[in-house]
Structure 1
Amino acid sequence: MLFMGSTKYPDENEYEAYLTKHGGFSNAYTESEHTVFHFDVDPDALHGTLDRFAMFFVSPLCLEDSMEREVMAVDSEFVEALQDDECRLNQLMCHTARPGHMYQKFTWGNKASLMDIPQESGLHVRDELLKFYKSNYSAERMRLAVLGGEPLDTLEEWVRTMFSVVPSGLGPEQNFASAGFPFEGQMLYLLASVKGLHRVTVSFQLPCLEKLYHKKAEDYISHLVGHEGPGSLLSALKSMGWATGVAAGIEDSSFSMNSCVYIFTVDMTLTEAGLTAGPGYGLAAVQLLFQYLKMIRDAKAQRWVYNELRAIGEMKFRFSEEEDAASYVTKLATGLFIYEPQHVLVASRLYDDWDPGLVEDLLNMMTPSAEGLRIDLQTKHFQQMKEKLLKEKADVLCETDPWFGFEYLAVAIDEKMQEALSSVSGSEAIQFPPKNPYMAEDFSVKAKGLSTTQAPDRSTAGDEQGQNGAEKGATGKNMSTDIDDVPRDAGDSGIVPEAMMPELLLDEPGLRVWHKLDTIHLLPRTSTYFRLSSPATYGPPRAYALTHMMVALLEDALNEEAYLADVAGLYCGLGPEGRLGVEVLVSGFSDKLHLLIHRVFETMTNFKIEAKSFSNVHEMVVRKYQNAHVKSAKHAHYLRLLILSPLSVQNGEILQELSKLQPQDVMGFVTEFLSKIHVEVLVHGNHTAEEALALARNARSQLGTGILEAKDREATQCLKLPEGKLLLHRARAKNLEEQNSAIEVYFQGNIDEVRERVLAGMVEQLTAEPCFNILRTKEQLGYSVNSQIKATHGVVGFAFSLSSGKYPPSYIEKRIDSFLEAFEKELDAMPAEEFEHHRTAFISEQLRKANNLWEESSWMWEPVLNQRYVFGSRFREVQELRKVTKRDVQDWYARHLSPHSKQRRKLAIHVVSVSHWEADASPDGDDDSGATNADAEVDEVTDVEAFRQSMPVFPSVVCNARLAGSGWIDRTSQLTS
């Protein structure tokens, strides 16, 4: 509600509109003890945004009609959470907390809790909302973090001026330490899983540790319990065939870390065998967990383990990289409640007080008889277990959560069960992890004439975003971005900043190598990408199944090694690129990078499959396909890509082939895969050209002598949709309990060229905020609403996606077309100044500097992956943007998006819940089809394969031949010898 206008800025949508015009983004979230508001924006608009932001906490309007719409938005979010396993477990834990404890509150909120029940009790909801605001929003209970390019004195002056009028006087923030532990303890709960998995969560209630952050005793324990290297709990569970994954520690959320409790959880993803092994469902794995904890406890706290964690923390902080701006200030603002001022920037990496006594005290709270023990089991076999347990045990409680409506069982952990959990499971494989061979020792920087001592000051840089957490296309802005950084004639002259241009070091049959020595970030890190293309993956569904099994088995075989590397700051990831091969990413600290790369390809070429490993991995991959697209929105996205790609295979067909596979099939496939292969490599970072070439040649030599020419690689294709027809494909939601339907409406443009991408991008910039404001905020069609450009297999398009538990897709499609019709008129009437604001915001986003080396590497890798080799396209787009007129954008919109267009190519995907199936319209040309163009034809795509065979395809846009002089630097003649 605080976003919806203030006395100074009364327009309900003023804040969001201002952000959108200046390349900005905002959000907010509430946790157990705090609410966080955050934004990022172009540098020149920071002052104006801060002024609007400050008014949230001075004089918000909280208008009645706005409030009612936002209640419905919260209700839509709640409906989305109903079929989410994580949300259901979280709700069960809250519902089963001690009576009267703060945890027992219904934290989600929905229409019933926020409006219906209060009104039935005679309460005026807006009055209650304002009362809550006035009793909690006080300056001394707030923390603020601002990141900007201005001098600190200037930022401080802004903050003092704008925020000094925030009301104060309520006293410091509330503390819930006196509430005690939230759960009774010594209880086992069972509930059904939505995704058909088996997961056991063991929770230990620990006292609040927030003031002991510099000791990190809990990190010592989570490091050992969650370790995945040799001798680990996970390795032992895998060897027994009981589990495929383990995660341990205290989650970084105020549900798990707050003033009354720290909740240490161990999540184990069980196999079918693991579910039924031992004394009761899932308890064999829990037995092994307690055996591992006993081993750690008996060995006493080990200083060398803590020293290794400290070394890793220091290394990662010393060489930390820029983060997403909004994420970083959010972390700082919440940290200000906990950390001493001098530790705010470094707290997450600070290990400066070894306290073995505290470690042992915490371990003593992690026993089968511990007061705070709680076990939760989610399983797809809930009904069978329910029937069995109700027959066997008289004290089993079967109840229903009043808000989510799911059934659960509650069983007391009695002395007999405690004894069973304390018994030795028979595994002697568990042990402390080995010393880590991947710890970097050489941190020198290879860029000529530069060293870490000359690197820019990173004293305000936070925890590195990391390869696991970074996302392509992050919305964070680099506050030093200048939209005039690149010459205005760069696009015309073909000039692209050197930092965006890799060198072509080698181009020979079977191997192509790209390289860029980092001269910007100046850190001892390198990113390496490998794309392995083989005709073996080009075939029918069986080839897909074999490729996925091969990659999954490789990941399993590499898991122990990859985990050790990950702890030391090296990331390894593998993934099948559909039918186009396998992608390998290895990145992190440069010093030991070559060791991990060698290990990856050594494992691939000396592939061995053990029967138990095959069984575990096969079950995991099959479950992954069974659970794919359970969420309606993901299902709609998958169906759109399936229809548009003539080479893709339906998941059901792959699943059928997976069920037939045996170990010898995969072994034979590996041989076939390696018999004819092309490897494309990008090395970007702290490696010289000679080192990059040696690294790539070594990896290629490990793969054998089978050669596939670059020109013989298969390329992706995209169907060319017919003009003037409205294509519709309807499918039932996979989860029969799902209340949400989803729609993805796709409008196809032309081949992905700079001008086409720029015009579609401007439409995205212009429609993003009004689309959200109209369809989500005002019309309340659903909680998740998006409009964005889509680059699908070399073709530019535009899509609207929305999920709703209230309306069927046919109705939503009509509202999308109605929005498109209305916005066409808005665009026509848009003042030139407003259009220029949007153009400037778009240019600023395109010229945003990479937050870190990995993000820059991913930008560089994309042109290699799509085989087009057009680097620095963002800068070429900027030059085209400066030429584009409002009329150009209007013409693109009128042709591709306008409901009145005769050339529009539209594909609507409806994923319909059971409750909406009858209400969702059949495509018979009436109003319920969603069409507003009376002259357009509506065709329902019922047979996807037949439709794909009947449609033409766009010509391939890949460049398989080497094009010397096409923009990159060609050094093959210097280095191939």
Structure 2
Amino acid sequence: MSCSLRLSGFHQGAGCDVSAGRVCTIALSRLTRCSALLRTFASPAVHPRFLASTPKPRAAPPPYKMPQTNKSPKTTAMDSSGQVQSEAPPEPMEAASREQTTTPEAEEEDNLGDSEIVKSPSDPKQYRYIVLENGLRALLISDYSGPAAEQEDDSDGEEEEDGEEEEEEEEDDEEDDEEEEEEEVDGGDEEEEGKRKKGNAEKQSAAALCVGVGSFSDPPDLPGLAHFLEHMVFMGSEKYPSENGFDAFLKKHGGSDNASTDCERTVFQFDVQRRSFKEALDRWAQFFICPLMIRDAIDREVEAVDSEYQLAKPSDSHRKEMLFGSLAKADHPMGKFCWGNAQTLKHEPKKQKINVYKRLRAFWKQHYSAHYMTLAVQSKEKLDTLEEWVREIFSKVPNNELPKPDFSNMLDPFDTPAFNKLYRVVPVRKVHALNITWALPPQEKHYRVKPLHYISWLIGHEGTGSILSVLRKKCWALALFGGNSETGFDQNTTYSIFSISITLTDEGFQNFYQVTQLVFQYLKMLQTLGPQQRIYEEIQKIEANEFHYQEQIDPIEYVEDVCENMQLFPKEDFLTGDQLMFLYDPEVISSALTLLTPDRANLMLLSPEHEGRCPLREKWFGTQYSVEDVAPEWIGKWTGELELDSSLHLPAENEFIATDFNLKASDCPDTELPVRITDSEKGCLWYKKDNKFKIPKAYIRFHIISPVIQKSARNVVLFDLLVNILGHNLAEPAYEAEVAQLDYKLVAGEHGLVIKVKGFNHKLPLLFRLIIDHLAGFSASPASSPCSPSSSRKPTSTSSLNLRNLARTCVC
């Protein structure tokens, strides 16, 4: 068996093949000897300078909206992984403000941004906030990097435009190659693949506009009108009358566009090659200045809206939302059918003699007003240039000076007898799931505290003492998601949802009342103990680190997020309001926590076993369901003195949170490729010094090579099992590292085990050592499995697997 270790930065080192040099192949007779080697490399005292390499953090997924046009769902709710958007390092506000004017771009006097807008210290872009005469608010985002880059972008744009077809074919071939490489031990890493995909996107310019009106404003006799208008505004304008002219322009110049309608907001966005950005802005702005919305296009676009509705019908998440919305008070807009379809926009209006075209134009005139709108534009232009363009183009958007629709007085929409019931639902997918949901007062005003985020962090925890940990030990649950997605459905001016969704096993489904009781026990514990400043500050630090070293995401995604933030937060928090936890306020957290009680909860149990037992159907999506009171004996248990399960407790202090961000001093020369710096009987060590990004992150790739694996098909299968069990055993102890932005991956390669770890230098060795310790002390015993409900369960024989013997054989 042979071992080789490589430490590198993602931008170059991670994609390099160790086999480029002679690989050390020293036979080791015992796993313990290999373990000693691994511990030697894991020790931070051995080669501290090696931990200065610098991968870039992954971009966070954008939030999910519904309904939407050709857009894949995405959410920001806290899930069982605990991964969230984050804040800057300690004292992020002050540090970020100082960095605003100390980057090289900011030193150019003619491209200075607003110092009041707080941004990440690692963000090189400059920002300027302006308000046009018509009331439209705009944020200008400049990633200008000098004349040389400007000329290079123009050149790249011409090449991309001239070779679109060839490029598409090359991308298809590249994807095929990447799939083949993924099967090889030394294939390209996921991070490198992501960067290749983002290469062209980073050269794009983008804009997004958010109208502060959504489906809540639909008239009662035309459900889905706001969504329909989102489609119709694209059907040409007075200045550019071609019905599909804008899409054709974007396609010609390497761009794309999209739009989505939420409860109280509608968002439009596009991107395009930089040299075509101004013309694209002008064409796009006309949809908000003087759209044609021609009569002849109405029937076609109704069919497009109906197609989206039909595609959404098989989605269990959409079906649950529509069923949940139907439980609201009759006069509340939450009960509206926001999607729209051929029935509500064509057939019924025809029967009622409603002029849809006339009503559509009236809706646009009333609600698409400049003072409802926020705009974000990003390009490699100077701020002065962007301001000139935006003022010239968007000042023509009309302002009707009407008050913006306000639903903030329509509180407690789910304060109805129908809400606090048990709903049995037949899902589309063959899964068992339990949803426990509360409707709380709107929480948007508490964005600086984020009480639901704090609670969801604890509910969604996967470490020892958590709800999911206990449920897994009982073999009752596979996954748990808790929190608020911050979409319009989950959070608006009338209420905020807090939901816990548990994917159940067959046994968990049979014991769903006991599962529910465990959740209530944990909530009771949190209420009794009260908010914990130590835990809040841990979350704050974790998010601080991620925000400080955040990766620059694709412009089209970025401007979409920013223009929505502009509807919600003050100027200084446009970039931070949805990510940072600013203030620990135990009273605000307690106020939300005390509302999460059994008597206020809605229970929704999904299972294919309910088929044939659910006589009711939801009107729009046809979801089969039944409704019943919660069993009285369980109500008594939940509302009485709940005895806490002894396995439940708060998470321990997270030792994986980085606090030292100093770059390690290194006398190693800069190299283009990794170099071998150690070659001994213990193995080979390759090192790639980061000479580009200079951020305190490292990447370690450890390859344990064994010829035994390929000696038989049985060995290959057993080795796969070994790696899967090792990953299973690591899931709980390594959870704290994952939420602290330390990532790891175990790969059962063709020739041996590959261990990949990445993250902040400071605590990365702790994660590496944890993995190595579990490998050295590997056990396939069922007693150690998190899914063993009790020691009385009859153990499954592992004699036929001989996993320990295989491990010894591998190192001989």
TM-score, with structure 2 as normaliser: 0.65
- Whether the aligned pair in 2 keeps the contact of 1:283 and 1:421 (CA below 8 Å) is no
2:635 pairs with 1:418: yes
> What is residue 383 of structure 2 aligned with on the other side?
152
Cα distance per residue 1:277-301 (max 9 Å; x no partner): 2xxxx12111111101111111122
Quote how far apart the aligned CAs of 1:59 are: 1.5
CA–CA distance in 2 between the matches of 1:613 and 1:546?
Answer: 19
Match of 1:409 among 601, 607, 626: 626
Runs ≥4 in structure 1, deviation > 6 angstroms? 447-450, 504-513, 531-545, 579-582
Quote how far apart the aligned CAs of 1:41 are: 2.4
Relative to structure 1, is the Cα distance of residues 196 and 537 closer, same or farther in structure 2, using a 3 angstrom cutoff?
farther
Relative to structure 1, is the Cα distance of residues 412 and 98 closer, same or farther in structure 2, using a 3 angstrom cutoff?
farther
- Whether the aligned pair in 1 keeps the contact of 2:513 and 2:634 (CA below 8 Å) is no
Aligned residue for 2:692, secondary structure, equals coil
CA–CA distance in 2 between the matches of 1:405 and 1:511?
Answer: 62
- Whether the aligned pair in 1 keeps the contact of 2:467 and 2:518 (CA below 8 Å) is yes
> What is residue 463 of structure 2 aligned with on the other side?
229
Quote how far apart the aligned CAs of 1:524 are: 1.3
- Whether the aligned pair in 1 keeps the contact of 2:366 and 2:402 (CA below 8 Å) is no
> What is residue 321 of structure 1 aligned with on the other side?
551
Relative to structure 1, is the Cα distance of residues 25 and 512 closer, same or farther in structure 2, using a 3 angstrom cutoff?
farther
Match of 1:304 among 512, 530, 534: 534
> What is residue 50 of structure 2 aligned with on the other side?
none
2:611 pairs with 1:439: no
2:316 pairs with 1:85: yes
CA–CA distance in 1 between the matches of 2:455 and 2:299?
Answer: 47
Quote how far apart the aligned CAs of 1:82 are: 2.4
2:587 pairs with 1:376: no
2:492 pairs with 1:275: no
CA–CA distance in 1 between the matches of 2:711 and 2:323?
Answer: 46
Matched to 1:664, the amino acid is T
Quote how far apart the aligned CAs of 1:599 are: 1.6
Quote how far apart the aligned CAs of 1:163 are: 0.7
Quote how far apart the aligned CAs of 1:500 are: 7.8
Aligned residue for 1:561, secondary structure, equals coil
* Unmatched runs of 5 consecutive residues or more in structure 1: 388-396, 451-497, 619-660, 677-704, 707-977
CA–CA distance in 1 between the matches of 2:797 and 2:258?
Answer: 48
- Whether the aligned pair in 2 keeps the contact of 1:244 and 1:616 (CA below 8 Å) is no
> What is residue 760 of structure 1 aligned with on the other side?
none
2:423 pairs with 1:205: no
> What is residue 366 of structure 1 aligned with on the other side?
596
CA–CA distance in 2 between the matches of 1:20 and 1:553?
Answer: 48
Matched to 1:260, the amino acid is T
> What is residue 752 of structure 1 aligned with on the other side?
none
2:472 pairs with 1:238: yes
Alignment of 1:758-837 (within 5 A): none
Aligned residue for 1:143, secondary structure, equals strand
2:802 pairs with 1:672: no
CA–CA distance in 1 between the matches of 2:721 and 2:413?
Answer: 43
Match of 1:338 among 556, 562, 568: 568
> What is residue 558 of structure 1 aligned with on the other side?
730
2:763 pairs with 1:592: yes
Quote how far apart the aligned CAs of 1:175 are: 2.4
> What is residue 832 of structure 1 aligned with on the other side?
none
Cα distance per residue 1:456-510 (max 9 Å; x no partner): xxxxxxxxxxxxxxxxxxxxxxxxxxxxxxxxxxxxxxxxxx9985556679999
2:234 pairs with 1:3: yes
Relative to structure 1, is the Cα distance of residues 505 and 344 closer, same or farther in structure 2, using a 3 angstrom cutoff?
same
- Whether the aligned pair in 2 keeps the contact of 1:140 and 1:172 (CA below 8 Å) is no
Quote how far apart the aligned CAs of 1:257 are: 1.1
Quote how far apart the aligned CAs of 1:344 are: 1.3
2:664 pairs with 1:516: no
CA–CA distance in 1 between the matches of 2:482 and 2:609?
Answer: 24
Quote how far apart the aligned CAs of 1:85 are: 2.1
Aligned residue for 2:699, secondary structure, equals strand
CA–CA distance in 1 between the matches of 2:249 and 2:301?
Answer: 20
Match of 2:487 among 221, 228, 253: 253
Matched to 1:353, the amino acid is L
Root-mean-square deviation (CA), in Å? 3.3
Relative to structure 1, is the Cα distance of residues 322 and 122 closer, same or farther in structure 2, using a 3 angstrom cutoff?
same
- Whether the aligned pair in 2 keeps the contact of 1:200 and 1:378 (CA below 8 Å) is yes
Relative to structure 1, is the Cα distance of residues 533 and 76 closer, same or farther in structure 2, using a 3 angstrom cutoff?
farther
- Whether the aligned pair in 2 keeps the contact of 1:135 and 1:170 (CA below 8 Å) is no
Alignment of 1:527-926 (within 5 A): 527-529=699-701, 550-574=722-746, 584-609=755-780, 611=782, 616=787, 664=798, 668-669=802-803, 671-672=805-806, 675-676=809-810, 705=811
CA–CA distance in 1 between the matches of 2:608 and 2:720?
Answer: 24
CA–CA distance in 2 between the matches of 1:537 and 1:252?
Answer: 48
Q: Size of the alignment, in residue pairs?
A: 571
Quote how far apart the aligned CAs of 1:171 are: 3.2
Alignment of 1:160-199 (within 5 A): 160-183=391-414, 184=416, 185-199=419-433
Relative to structure 1, is the Cα distance of residues 162 and 269 closer, same or farther in structure 2, using a 3 angstrom cutoff?
same
Quote how far apart the aligned CAs of 1:148 are: 1.8
Matched to 1:57, the amino acid is F
Cα distance per residue 1:590-621 (max 9 Å; x no partner): 21112212222332342224537758499xxx
Matched to 2:535, the amino acid is V
Relative to structure 1, is the Cα distance of residues 547 and 158 closer, same or farther in structure 2, using a 3 angstrom cutoff?
farther
Match of 2:616 among 399, 404, 407: 399
Relative to structure 1, is the Cα distance of residues 611 and 374 closer, same or farther in structure 2, using a 3 angstrom cutoff?
same
Aligned residue for 1:83, secondary structure, equals coil
- Whether the aligned pair in 2 keeps the contact of 1:570 and 1:588 (CA below 8 Å) is yes
Aligned residue for 1:596, secondary structure, equals helix
- Whether the aligned pair in 1 keeps the contact of 2:676 and 2:685 (CA below 8 Å) is yes
- Whether the aligned pair in 2 keeps the contact of 1:534 and 1:674 (CA below 8 Å) is no
Matched to 1:222, the amino acid is S
- Whether the aligned pair in 1 keeps the contact of 2:474 and 2:788 (CA below 8 Å) is no
Aligned residue for 1:599, secondary structure, equals helix
> What is residue 371 of structure 2 aligned with on the other side?
140
- Whether the aligned pair in 2 keeps the contact of 1:290 and 1:422 (CA below 8 Å) is no
Cα distance per residue 1:361-393 (max 9 Å; x no partner): 1111001123xx21111112223xx65xxxxxx
- Whether the aligned pair in 2 keeps the contact of 1:241 and 1:612 (CA below 8 Å) is no
Aligned residues: percent identity? 33
- Whether the aligned pair in 2 keeps the contact of 1:246 and 1:268 (CA below 8 Å) is yes
Relative to structure 1, is the Cα distance of residues 12 and 610 closer, same or farther in structure 2, using a 3 angstrom cutoff?
farther
CA–CA distance in 1 between the matches of 2:626 and 2:445?
Answer: 37
Relative to structure 1, is the Cα distance of residues 220 and 120 closer, same or farther in structure 2, using a 3 angstrom cutoff?
same
- Whether the aligned pair in 1 keeps the contact of 2:366 and 2:400 (CA below 8 Å) is no
TM-score, with structure 1 as normaliser: 0.54
- Whether the aligned pair in 2 keeps the contact of 1:447 and 1:522 (CA below 8 Å) is no
Match of 1:94 among 325, 349, 354: 325
Quote how far apart the aligned CAs of 1:121 are: 2.1
Matched to 1:434, the amino acid is A
CA–CA distance in 2 between the matches of 1:513 and 1:617?
Answer: 40
Quote how far apart the aligned CAs of 1:91 are: 2.2
- Whether the aligned pair in 2 keeps the contact of 1:572 and 1:587 (CA below 8 Å) is yes
Quote how far apart the aligned CAs of 1:135 are: 2.0
CA–CA distance in 2 between the matches of 1:514 and 1:87?
Answer: 50
Quote how far apart the aligned CAs of 1:10 are: 2.0
- Whether the aligned pair in 2 keeps the contact of 1:549 and 1:666 (CA below 8 Å) is no
- Whether the aligned pair in 2 keeps the contact of 1:237 and 1:243 (CA below 8 Å) is yes
CA–CA distance in 1 between the matches of 2:716 and 2:312?
Answer: 32
- Whether the aligned pair in 2 keeps the contact of 1:447 and 1:519 (CA below 8 Å) is no
CA–CA distance in 2 between the matches of 1:422 and 1:289?
Answer: 13
CA–CA distance in 2 between the matches of 1:44 and 1:121?
Answer: 49
CA–CA distance in 1 between the matches of 2:263 and 2:682?
Answer: 55
